[in-house]
Amino acid sequence: MTRLPAGLAGGDPIRDRSGGWIVTATLSRRLHTDHLEEVAFLLALRVGLFDDPDVPWPRVDEYEQRLTAHRDALVEGGEAAAGMATELLASDDVDEVRAAAYILASYKAGDRLAPLWQMLPQASAESISAIGYALRYPENQAVCRGLESLLEHERAELRAMAVEVLGYRREITTAQIEVALADQDLEVARQAAIAARRAHDTSLVRVLEIALGKQPAGVAVEAAMALMTLGAPSGIDWLRQYCRSLQTDYGVAPLYLGLAGEINSLPPSEPAVCGLGIAGRVDSSETTERLLGLLTHDEETIRIAAAEALELMYASGLVEEHTQQQQWTDPDGEVVDSESVTTVRPSTSPENWKTWLGNNASRFRNAARLRRGQPWSVTGLFEELNDSHARYKRRSQAVCEVMVSEGLFRPFEADWFVTRQQQVLVDCTKRAFPADQSLRRYRVPCQVQLLPLRVPRSVHDTSWGGDASPIRA
């Protein structure tokens, strides 16, 4: 991006001797408004891009580079740009609030975040969530200090957001996690258990085991998962017992059981079926037969989950086209446009799967667990993390699998900025498999031919059917 003249960056009128023109504070404000519009648009777009099947995750870097350029222009804008970002904190549009928080947190000089902490107690739950997302990424210690001040706030939503973001940033202490685990609000305690998993500190084993016995199931399940990543057998033992005792409403427990390579015998639900695919047990015919039977289930979500589980195990390449109606609405909820969208997904045809398995069964006789057509291995998990077409959810699960099976794993999030993800993956792959030639092609992640994206290029691009409402100047 072209560097602005010093006077324009701050908004003061200047005269360019070569051109003889005057740039006023009004023009400067318009430029800041354009930058803020783009930041709001790009952040909102980025929220869903990592899970978009049409967008290889390395391509998100193109949008992140644009986001960074607009952010840097606003930071160089000084007081004028910071003042405009502060004004947006009062917006009813959560995209604008998210953008304002992100920009204010990006200023490392001066205390620009004071207005944000002041408005949070009155903010809506939706705005708090958007602000939490924005505060994950800026490298600014003022963010950490402000979030720590919210850990004892009387409003539970703020405590939960603070625990979540501090855990995501790996800036939460074990003492803070212990206090939050004992919080009377279940979401605060649940976020504390997730933060314990990310902190990966064995000194938390005892307090997590206490949470298994004292906290409700929603918190205890996350505490068990954290214990599994720390190598404590109490985590998997609790999950086994919990899943055996359930009839309904078991949440993500069977999925977490699958991350440890264990199957469940629970009634079908998306997490239970997904857990079967992740476990990938083929040392008996039980898993495959159950999944084949679920392809005829009455609920479409269960049929799709069973097909995805089989594909995760066998990598058959069996697919089908699915057409559905996609609609766009205006701010009042009225449908303004619609079109038929055709997507490709794993086949839900039992006949196709039975034929394929009959022709290929001999390939898998010596495997206990399967992942993407190969015997399960940590090498395979790193291949998934490096796979440019793997979605956010699957890559996040692969990180947990590495932690459960191998213990210590460098901090990693599947929705970090792309350049940071690639740097960590290259380093981890070299450290974990220094002599493993099978991963040579993954050591520079995502060297694949990338197709044109089917997403809007700018806030001003309305040809895709979205709503690009301008930020008010």
pLDDT, tens digit, for every residue of 51-63? 888 899 999 999 9
322-358 exposure pattern, b = at least 16 Cβ within 10 A, e = fewer? eeeeeeeeeeeeeeeeeeeeeeeebbbbbebbeebee
Tell me: the pLDDT tens digits for 145-192?
A: 999 999 999 999 999 999 999 999 999 999 999 999 999 999 999 999
The four Cα atoms 420, 421, 426, 430 give a dihedral, to 10 degrees, of 110
Q: How far apart are CA 473 and CA 30, in angstroms?
A: 7
Report the run of H or E that residue 306 belongs to, with start and end: helix 300-314
Confidence (pLDDT) at 251: 85
For the ranges 123-137, 173-187, 324-338, the lowest mean pLDDT is seen at: 324-338
- Whole-structure pTM value: 0.83
Confidence (pLDDT) at 261: 92
Tell me: the pLDDT tens digits for 271-321?
A: 999 999 999 999 877 899 999 999 999 999 999 999 999 999 999 999 998
Q: How far apart are CA 23 and CA 18, in angstroms?
A: 13
Q: How far apart are CA 59 and CA 451, in angstroms?
A: 9
| Number of alpha helices (DSSP H) and beta strands (DSSP E) in the chain | 22, 6
Q: Which domains does the chain carry?
A: 1-147+444-473 (no CATH), 151-245 (1.25.10.10), 263-374 (no CATH), 376-442 (no CATH)
